Amino acid sequence: MKNNTRTLRAATQATVVSLAFTAAAIGAPAAFAVGDTATTAATNAYSSGIDANHDVSLTINKRLNANTTNNPTGKEDPNVDGEKLGGVTFSIQKINADITTKEGFQAAANMTPADAEGNLTGDVYTDTTTSEGVATFSTDKNSITPGAYLVKETDAPEGVVKGDDFIVFLPMTDPEGSGWNYDVVAYPKNTKMDVTKEITGGENANAGDILEYTLTTKRPPFDKARSYLTFFAFEDSLPDELRLKNEDPNKVVVKIGDTALVEGTDYVVTKPQSTTAGKGEDVAVTFTNAGLVKLRDADDNTVVSAVLPVEVQKVAEGDNPSDGKAVNTGTASYKLKEIADPGNTDSDPENPENKDQDEAPEKPTDTTSGESPEVPSRWANITINKTAEGSNDKLTGAEFKVFRCTDKDNYLSEALTIGGESSWTTDAGAATIKSVIVPAEGQDFKYCLEEVKAPEGYELLVEPIVVDVTTIGDDATSVDADITNIKSTSSKLPSTGGAGVGLLMALGALIVGAGAFAAKRSSRKS
């Protein structure tokens, strides 16, 4: 019984070595057993002999976001899930090791894909998966012979993260451990991380207002028994027109499903100054080890989201003047690692459960990531040019308030406060309203300028001035509103003072005096 157990264990280990590529492709980054396990597998596998003249084949069934916990066997598996993925190109090239010998098999079994890169021989063969996600290599098709091969994914559809390189043995030990499987079937997976970015608040935000971006993705599917997350983050390089405003009452909000996480405990927010031209801040929301554990424990494809409140800046101001155009994307990225010893997870120092829970890991260089479509916004200045009707005299002291409207008779808002200002007064004939939102496609509004105080000696405007900022040119940052005032109409009223009044008063005095004189004379005669 003991000998049978030893034989079964050896055969199983041989299968593990041969199938390491399949587990890596389907469940985690490529990893190979090395040391005693690989040696034992090699020692017991070659004893039954490999036929060096036997035909061999490799069938690759490519899946998108597969999450199958079955142990890979090298045989067809109808239970493998995920979307069949066409358009993925693979290449294979033989490793310079004769696996029909003990030494050659041992050497190949101990290699990682990186090791194999420097030990390749013969031709490179390529094939692209069909609409059913299938790519094939065989003796008949490519003249390949028994050996160990390095398999590379050289191209993938847009938005799909290419899989890691892996090594395949042709043949490999069959699932029963009693013979060789010369026709190997592999189910490597690709990941496609879909990320959305939307404006979910403040869509009409002007300078000084808060606009909210929401970044959304789904928890990547993986086998919790085999892998864990070592990194997860949302990132957004904000353009010059925007700055993160992570202060009460406008705070970054992160959720796994409907459960809100706690900043400083489950995630940290950083916003260093960007070194990229046209960008202001590189915002990152990075999960701590505690947050990674919570994300690991969530169900596959659970929605993960981050709300970023940003403050609109004034156009064409500051050290890095902007053009008012904010066109940017958001990203999400993660890193998975295979559990070294599933039976003793406490021994793995990289497992987030075994690390400082408040610590946020540094971003690895080889993350899986996704990027959202671009989200455009634009802001413009309105320059008021105030002159006297019939002349080029520039008028000072005209005061305006601004409203959103569809036309002069239909207001959509109360008077706006923009960039901390609620009214604008002309000086030497000009005033600038800085950074009003340009209506996006599908929005229909304009700006109504209402004169609330006229320049001295001039009449108030009888109706608001309507400004359509969508007429702004591609390279412009401002729209002009040319406004004229007519002089005061008070000169057309009858005069209420001057020589005419004085003459009437003098005549009145003479009449009164004459009357008094006549009365006195009459009295004397009496």
Q: Into how many domains does the chain fold?
A: 4
Query: C-alpha 294: how far from its chain's center?
Result: 22
Closest CA relative to residue 29, chosen from 138, 164, 216:
164
pLDDT at 3: 41
CB atoms within 10 A of CB 374: 11
DSSP state for residue 464 in the 8-state scheme: P
The tens digit of pLDDT for each residue in 125-177 reads 999 999 999 999 999 999 999 999 999 999 988 767 777 889 999 999 888 88
Closest CA relative to residue 309, chosen from 370, 236, 231, 358:
236
pLDDT at 497: 54
42 and 165 together in one domain: yes
The tens digit of pLDDT for each residue in 65-94 reads 766 656 778 888 887 877 888 999 999 999
Cα(277)–Cα(297) distance, integer angstroms: 39
The tens digit of pLDDT for each residue in 52-68 reads 999 999 999 998 876 66
The alpha carbon torsion through 60, 64, 68, 70 (nearest 10 deg) reads 0
Q: Which domain holds residue 520?
A: 496-526
State the CATH number of the domain containing residue 270.
2.60.40.740
What would the 3-class secondary structure string for 245-292 be?
A: CCECCECCEEEECCEECCECCCEEEECCECCCCCEEEEEEEEECHHHH
Output the CA torsion sign for 52, 57, 63, 68: negative
Q: Which residue has the tokens 């066409």?
A: 86
Could you tell me where the beta strands, DSSP code E, fall in 363-508?
368-371, 375-388, 399-407, 410-411, 424-425, 430-437, 446-453, 465-467, 478-485
The arithmetic mean of pLDDT across residues 316-321, rounded, is 66
165 and 271 together in one domain: no
pLDDT at 434: 95
Q: How confident is the model at residue 345 (pLDDT cuts 50, 70, 90)?
A: confident
pLDDT at 415: 97
Q: Which whole-number Å values give the CA distances from 227 to 4, 29, 147, 286, 419, in the listed order?
A: 31, 10, 30, 20, 50
Closest CA relative to residue 151, chosen from 111, 107, 207, 196:
111
93 and 163 together in one domain: yes
Enter the pTM of the model.
0.69
The angle at the Cα of 378, spanning 377 to 379, to the nearest 5 degrees, equals 135
pLDDT at 11: 38
Quick check: 353 pLDDT over 70?
Answer: yes
206 and 141 together in one domain: no
Torsion-angle region of 221 (φ positive above 0: left; ψ -120 to 50: alpha; else: beta) = beta
Output the CA torsion sign for 31, 57, 74, 178: negative
Closest CA relative to residue 137, chosen from 86, 185, 174, 178:
185
Number of alpha carbons in the 13 Å side-chain half-sphere of residue 312: 32
pLDDT more than 90, % of the chain:
60
Q: Are 326 and 239 in contact (CB under 8 A)?
A: yes
* Higher per-residue confidence, 382 vs 72: 382
Q: Which of 190, 207, 237 corresponds to the end of one domain?
A: 190
Quick check: 521 pLDDT over 90?
Answer: no
Tokens of 229: 């997350």
25 and 74 together in one domain: yes
What is the DSSP annotation of 149-187? EEEEEEE--TTPBPPPPEEEEESEE-TTSSSEESEEEE-
Cα(419)–Cα(486) distance, integer angstroms: 31
pLDDT at 287: 98
Q: Are 481 and 449 in contact (CB under 8 A)?
A: yes
Quick check: 318 pLDDT over 70?
Answer: no
Q: Are 16 and 41 in contact (CB under 8 A)?
A: yes
- Least reliable range by pLDDT among 158-167, 206-215, 236-245, 457-466: 158-167
273 and 170 together in one domain: no
220 and 141 together in one domain: no
114 and 230 together in one domain: no
Cα(340)–Cα(96) distance, integer angstroms: 28
Query: C-alpha 442: how far from its chain's center?
Result: 22
* Higher per-residue confidence, 11 vs 89: 89
Quick check: 493 pLDDT over 80?
Answer: no
138 CB-contact burial (10 Å; exposed 0-12 / middle 13-18 / buried 19+): middle
Quick check: 412 pLDDT over 60?
Answer: yes
What is the DSSP annotation of 512-526? HHHHHHHHHHHHHH-
The arithmetic mean of pLDDT across residues 378-385, rounded, is 96
Would you mind telling me the total number of residues written for the chain in this entry?
A: 526
Q: Which of 353, 373, 393 corresponds to the end of one domain?
A: 373
Torsion-angle region of 113 (φ positive above 0: left; ψ -120 to 50: alpha; else: beta) = alpha
State the CATH number of the domain containing residue 435.
2.60.40.10
443 and 508 together in one domain: no
385 and 366 together in one domain: no
Bridge-partner residues for 487, per DSSP?
A: 458
Cα(33)–Cα(350) distance, integer angstroms: 18
Q: How confident is the model at residue 514 (pLDDT cuts 50, 70, 90)?
A: low
181 and 253 together in one domain: no
476 and 510 together in one domain: no
Quick check: 446 pLDDT over 90?
Answer: yes
The tens digit of pLDDT for each residue in 246-292 reads 999 999 999 999 999 999 999 999 999 988 888 889 999 999 999 99
